[in-house]
A and B are shown apart, each in its own frame.
Chain A
Amino acid sequence: MLSSSITSSTSVSLMSTMATSILSVKTFSLSELEKATDKFNSKRVLGEGGFGRVYSGTLEDGAEVAVKLLTRDNQNGDREFIAEVEMLSRLHHRNLVKLIGICIEGRRRCLVYELVHNGSVESHLHGSIFISS
């Protein structure tokens, strides 16, 4: 299929673009992340950013994670994805969120973070938008 070969070559070039940084993060399959998040169940939504929804999940080894499923399916989306992976895989500080891994499968892009349990500062100040309305 033409379309699938295009998508897979996109994935390959994306992987090589990030080859230097990718070593420090795990690569997850989409099925692993679907399993962790009950197929991206809407009940597991923690928040929504400009670039995608964030779901809570539990990996097979029991580790609790936050999985950001990127929604933007275009060049800009990939640029943001690469920017975030490249930055976070090289940045390590106790006051920065920790990137555990990524998922690149077909057109899907996911970022897997260590779960931070207590919500955002905004949710403490203004209440969660997912409950208040």
Chain B
Amino acid sequence: MLVNYLVGDDKIKGLLDWEARMKIALGAARGLAYLHEDSNPRVIHRDFKASNVLLEDDFTPKVSDFGLAREATEGSNHISTRVMGTFG
């Protein structure tokens, strides 16, 4: 239950073991790889951070918050724009 994490239930605290962390890192990377390479259109998230990676009960990660996302334009004429993101 989410409440156990929120109030810091001792038995549940520290449940982010290495296995869970690897699952989160790999899943989040797969999400980004899909966005960058396989989706149509290709997308740059531009606000990827821990608070924007949500977790299912089995620690399957879900990338969220696409408010700053932009389509990745094809070709090499990328123009560097201002620094983007939000605090966190």
Of the candidates A84, A97, A119, the one whose C-beta lies within 8 Å of that of B5 is: A119
B66–A84 CB distance below 8 A: yes
Contact with B along A103-133 (1 / 0, CB 8 A): 0000000000100111111111101101100
A83 to B86, CA, bound (A): 16
A130 to B68, CA, bound (A): 24
Least Cβ distance of B67 to chain A in Å? 4
Consensus secondary structure, chain A interface? mixed
Q: A90-B39, A128-B6, A130-B6 are in contact. Are A120 and B69 (CB under 8 A)?
A: no
B61–A84 CB distance below 8 A: no
Q: A120-B53, A124-B16 are in contact. Are A93 and B69 (CB under 8 A)?
A: no
Of the candidates B6, B31, B41, B55, the one whose C-beta lies within 8 Å of that of A93 is: B31
5 contacts between A and B (CB under 8 A): A50-B67, A83-B70, A95-B31, A96-B64, A121-B24
A interface list, Cβ under 8 A from B: 47, 49-51, 80-81, 83-84, 87-88, 90-91, 93-98, 113, 116-125, 127-128, 130-131
